[in-house]
Structure 1
Amino acid sequence: MASSGLQLLGFMLAMVGLAATIAATNMVEWRVSYDATEDQHRTSKGLWMTCSGRSGGIVTCQLYESLLKLPIEIQATRAVMLVGIFLSSMALIVSTVGMKCTRFMDGKEQSKSTVVLAAGVMFIISGLLTLTITSWYVRVIVESFFGSNKLNRYEFGSAVFMSWAGAILTLAGGVFLSCRRCSKSGSSMSQHNLHTSPNHGSNYV
């Protein structure tokens, strides 16, 4: 029962992490710039489009026209985030097959444990990819902030924090799913010792 609850907790954490990662990938506020001299003019740049407008006014957004003209940090972040989303999506399907609360592969406990372990590893890889590329993107923004003039300075926006949260939740879910196999092995060993210890004791009576 405990291992099944641990599986369910890991699955839920990973699913929320995937949703947060998808939301962060589609958000525009990866980097933002404020200009107080022009009626609070604000510019936001995401992985797919850029938006600009004044505070309380109409905001206009425009999709990036050419992939090759984009900065390397946007191209790399977009690619790695999509890979992470794909891995997490596949891991959700795989973990559904191997979880104890599902009826898939009934009677094959060892196979189900291996499937869940594989799903957990996929979640961990996805979380590490998202965490690494987001941190690198933030580093690029910080270096650009201190290396450019005041009129072209950008700060990292709310999408960065959403991406970090998604990465951490995905990592946690993967760890819980992977550790379930270890806990099962430990419990099986302890049960084996309990069954064998009376037999050893009976030899001395």
Structure 2
Amino acid sequence: MAAMMPGVMPPRHHALDLQPFIREVPDFPKPGILFRDIAPLLKSPEATTEALRQLGEVCESLQPDLIVGIESRGFIVGTPLAHARGLGFVPVRKPGKLPGAVIGIDYALEYGSDRLEIQADALAGGPKVLVVDDLLATGGTASATGALVQRAGGNLIGFAFLIELVGLGGRDALGDKVPCHALLAYS
């Protein structure tokens, strides 16, 4: 069930409710996990437009120069958002996926570690950056992306997500130095 909390975008009275467009898939990707699938939202032009409108309100408030999207669903959300707002888009990817010189960051996972990379010149000049992804869970990947943005010379001004899984502590992992927005929150 979705719950309202600070940083979660309250729907306007005329806004399309996005919650019915999030499909619950039990026991995926493993037993005991309730997966929140955004595919129905992406399939609906009306729901996608509404999600982008609401994320656009975050952009209007924060005034980023660039949108950074986290591989891979952050690309699906971040690219059209950047386009709609007249902003550039920069991908953050897994190792070995970007050509040329890159800046990377290693980060801890529950059982091991991973690495993210950004092109070395992507944030030249210190642009104001909004990091966008589909889901905030534990916050490990988003936190690493925020640190990578700063390491690459960007000015991190916030995070925006379609969904936040509140009980997993992602918002705490991101800290309180920059705003964190989610359109929907699930406990």
Q: TM-score, normalised by structure 2?
A: 0.26
Structure with the bigger percentage of strand: 2
- TM, length-normalised to structure 1: 0.24
Structure whose residues are more often helix by fraction: 1
